[in-house]
Structure 1
């Protein structure tokens, strides 16, 4: 079983990439965010790999970190969730956001993924809520936000109000992963004021900043 690959990127398409490892090209299925990250990459890349062996094919699924791979495998354990659906879910948002959605029973985030729907979203939460506890305290400081800049400005606004950078980034990431956002419009047409307001609601009335009592 192939567990990881390290090599040069030869080709990237919407759903897969070809990685050259010592002269052998491996086709690896990836989600949209990973495909975008690999586009134009000139250095060697490393991918964590899940291998699926069938009678007629061996399929490789690649992820940029072990936590994302773990989420993928958890999703495969849910009834009627195959590799394609699992990749679509991970394409929606960072793995930290997905784990938070499951723990918080945020069905809307999962149901917004094309092909999932409300019924499947509830099944995912029901089957995984007690199983992802080991991933439930992720490093939110490393979560990437849309390149448009509104997310980072919202984080700055929240930290100026006294919230820790990690809490602020977590709240903004969850807000920007909610219904109404797409890959083409990651803010869902919202202004920075709307993003900050929504993030404050997620932080809750009892949330405290770094200088809170």
Structure 2
């Protein structure tokens, strides 16, 4: 199973991106949220989810770990396929979607194309406990513009040998106080606290 694909963006649109890596072009379906994160980049690393079916082999790409986890939670709900989950993540930000699920906001979910009353209720019932394990504060941070800086800093800290959970708490605490920090500044500040 693929974890991520890095490479040069050859083509992109609101629903897909083609990434060239070692002479191969990967067609990856993305949400509008991910498109907004990578729109101005020439090279990118996308976390991926593979979907292997009898008639197709599909890759779905995500700019951050939290969005991919939310996608995987959504497709675990009966009646929601990969394209519906991608539509949900394109209609509202992952942070807004998580908050809607945790607060039981069926009207927000029903406002998404293809989601009726029964499906909205099923999503809330099946995912409230699963998603409730991560804090709402973390999702608010994730919904903001600091996601790329946050993820890059976390990845660097993990590569340096620090535990992801502890690093995440420190990074989130620093970003809450100083949201304008660059990746390098965030890593340096984190190293002082770890």
TM-score > 0.5 by shorter chain: yes
Task: Report the counterpart of residue 78 of structure 1 in structure 2.
Answer: 77
- The answer to whether structure 1 residue 15 and structure 2 residue 15 are counterparts is yes
Task: Report the counterpart of residue 61 of structure 2 in structure 1.
Answer: 62
> What is the CA-CA distance between 1:22 and the residue it aligns to?
1.7
Change (3 A) 1:79 1:93: same
Change (3 A) 1:141 1:67: closer
- The answer to whether structure 1 residue 87 and structure 2 residue 86 are counterparts is yes
> What is the CA-CA distance between 1:142 and the residue it aligns to?
4.8
Contact kept in structure 2, 1:99 and 1:136, CA below 8 Å? no
Task: Report the counterpart of residue 33 of structure 1 in structure 2.
Answer: 33
- What does 1:117-196 align with in structure 2 at a 5 Å threshold? 117-137=116-136, 138-144=138-144
Contact kept in structure 2, 1:47 and 1:64, CA below 8 Å? yes
Query: Separation in 1 of the partners of 2:139 and 2:31?
Result: 21
Deviates more, 1:77-86 or 1:115-124: 115-124
Partner SS for 1:131:
helix
Q: Mind listing any 5+ residue stretches in structure 1 that lack a counterpart?
A: 146-164, 167-213
Contact kept in structure 2, 1:103 and 1:136, CA below 8 Å? no
Change (3 A) 1:142 1:110: same
Contact kept in structure 1, 2:98 and 2:139, CA below 8 Å? no
Higher relative helix content:
2
Once superposed, what is the RMSD of the aligned Cα atoms? 1.9
Q: Mind listing any 5+ residue stretches in structure 2 that lack a counterpart?
A: 146-174, 177-194
Change (3 A) 1:136 1:53: same
Query: Separation in 2 of the partners of 1:66 and 1:134?
Result: 15
- Figure out how many residues of one structure are paired with residues of the other and give that number: 146
> What is the CA-CA distance between 1:141 and the residue it aligns to?
3.7
Query: Separation in 2 of the partners of 1:78 and 1:142?
Result: 23
Contact kept in structure 1, 2:51 and 2:58, CA below 8 Å? yes
Contact kept in structure 1, 2:2 and 2:50, CA below 8 Å? yes
Partner SS for 1:113:
coil
TM value normalised by structure 2 = 0.69
Change (3 A) 1:72 1:26: same
Partner SS for 1:98:
helix
> What is the CA-CA distance between 1:139 and the residue it aligns to?
4.8
Contact kept in structure 2, 1:67 and 1:135, CA below 8 Å? no
Partner SS for 2:41:
coil
> What is the CA-CA distance between 1:24 and the residue it aligns to?
0.9
